[in-house]
Chain A
Amino acid sequence: MSMIKRGVSLYSYQQEYYLRQMNFEDCIRAVADMGADGVEIISEAMIENFPDPSQEWVDNWFALLKKYNCVPTCYDAFMDGRIRGEEMISDDEAVQQMERDIRLAKRLGFKTIRVLCAVPLRIIERTLPLAEKLDIILGIEVHSPFRLATPWLDEYIDFIKRTGTKHFGIIPDFGIFVKRPVRILVRKHLRAGATPEIVDYVCQCYENNVPSEEMLAKVNTMNPNSEDLFWANEAYHYTYCDPKLLAQYIPYIVHIHGKMYEMTLEDGQWDEYSIPNREIIQVLKDNGWEGYICTEYEGQRHYHDMEDFDVDSVEQVKHHHEMLARYIGE
């Protein structure tokens, strides 16, 4: 039996929470409604009075988890690099922000913290003693435009191998497996005035790994408007890694973000339009990976230009979980 478990990052319900259509309890109930039990939280979105929630809030958090038979999985931490205008924070301040998050994650019962991909190893090294003391696992997010099998990632992996630490690992985000451009984003650019032929051409180039310089050179001969050029650049900010590359990282993967932009129905089955989930999950299963895949629904922002349409995030996540359960083989 597969040891892959399903969860939801409450990031997925950001729009409904923001508009006060769902409260915190509704978000947790929605996770349980998917037949999932893992709850991931965006610290600075939903923790009241962050970073010092009242004891009442903390008690309620544990009561809600119990009520809906859920467990805390991953705490998503941020790092504000620019707190005095454009001046960069010091290493000491970076460490302080991470230590603040480690303490709060512990207080809320989390085992794992998502560390932003832009946090350098030297900061991780300085915060590991506290993580080890409180038994919290730090996971650096492998998030587009960063990729698997790169010197950037090697530096972190080498550190884990060298030190043997059990409190640091990686959190791949499925956004590094975008095989074809995000369709709802493409449609947003078309609504904003992009030229269909150019948009299609850029999509084809992305899917066929045409180098960006070559693609841009051709686009520039097609009489592009500003929206076309914006898309031509943006498309290549997405990333596609071969899912097979995951195999070599299995022991270091402490958690996974199941990024999702749009669920589509084909032959009665739901799939994510851009991301080859079947292949990815097969690699995880074949290599005996254990842990939580938490859905991270990110499609909502691509409708924010439309006055009279709101996507239903709960519905999107529900279809994502139907898909996950199918591929995991529950």
Chain B
Amino acid sequence: MFDKYMIYDAECKNVVKDGKVTGFQVGVRVTYYRGIIIALIKNFEVTVDGVKYTKDDMTFTFNGNHTYTFDEMFGVTDERWGFGDVAVITVNKDGGLTPGEHEIEVTEELRVSYGLMENYFPNKAHWKKKINIA
């Protein structure tokens, strides 16, 4: 659910550090009907113009400036990604993305479960859209 709202265009941009472009960012929202502890974030995958980036290439920033790698989020139960709040995925990539239009695909997987039910199906959302990089 919420697949088409997952990618938040206004936060999609290049990252500039000390005058150099070190990567790019993609704004994302939770694709479930409530907020979650970040331990439930199972995976993100970002594909730009056919080039796939996995969670090992990324950090996850939410609640303004709380930044974690995906490994660091494992088991963290005292930090929450709020319902509808925009988080930012930063992909490390020298030079970032060229200015102009790009086709971006995002897959979000959340380990949401119904209590002690043995069988559970991680929530998986996927969307593809065109974004503009300034």
Contacts and interface: CB of A to CB of B under 8 A. Distances in A.
A300 B33 CA distance: 11
A307 interface: yes
Given A80-B112, A118-B115, 10 more contacts: A14-B83, A17-B84, A44-B36, A45-B34, A81-B117, A83-B77, A85-B74, A85-B75, A88-B118, A89-B116
Main secondary structure of the interface of A (DSSP, over half): loop
A75 interface: no
A18 B83 contact: yes
B108 to A, nearest CB: 13
B35 interface: yes
Contacts of A18: 2, 5, 29, 83-84
Contacts of B117: 81, 118
B115 A81 contact: yes
Contact of B83 (A46, A82, A88, A118): A46
Contact of B1 (A80, A84, A301): A301
A15 B4 CA distance: 12
A20 B74 CA distance: 29
A123 B116 contact: yes
Interface in A1-23: 11, 14-15, 17-20
Please classify how large the interface on chain B is, using the bins under 10, 10 to 19, 20 to 34, 35 or more: 20 to 34
B52 interface: no
20 contacts: A11-B33, A42-B34, A43-B34, A44-B80, A45-B33, A46-B83, A48-B82, A79-B115, A80-B36, A80-B40, A80-B112, A82-B111, A82-B120, A83-B77, A84-B75, A118-B117, A119-B116, A123-B116, A304-B1, A305-B4
Interface in A68-126: 78-86, 88-89, 94, 116-120, 123
A50 interface: yes
A306 interface: yes
Nearest to A87: B75
B115 A116 contact: yes
B4 A307 contact: yes
Among B75, B112, B117, chain A packs the most CB atoms within 10 A around the CB of B117
Interface string B101-134: 0000000000111111110100000000000000
B28 interface: no
A79 B84 contact: no
Contacts, number: 94
Contacts of A17: 83-84
Contact of B113 (A15, A81, A117, A305): A81
Nearest to B3: A304
A19 B74 contact: no
Contacts of B84: 17-20
B115 A305 contact: no
B37 interface: yes
Given A46-B83, A83-B75, A84-B39, A19 B5 contact: yes
B4 to A, nearest CB: 5
A80 B113 contact: yes
A82 B33 contact: no
A20 B40 CA distance: 23
Query: Closest 8 A-B residue pairs measured CB to CB?
Result: A79-B115, A118-B117, A18-B84, A301-B1, A81-B113, A44-B34, A45-B34, A118-B115
B120 A50 contact: no
A82 B1 contact: no
Contacts of B37: 80, 83
Contact of A81 (B74, B80, B116): B116
Nearest to A43: B34
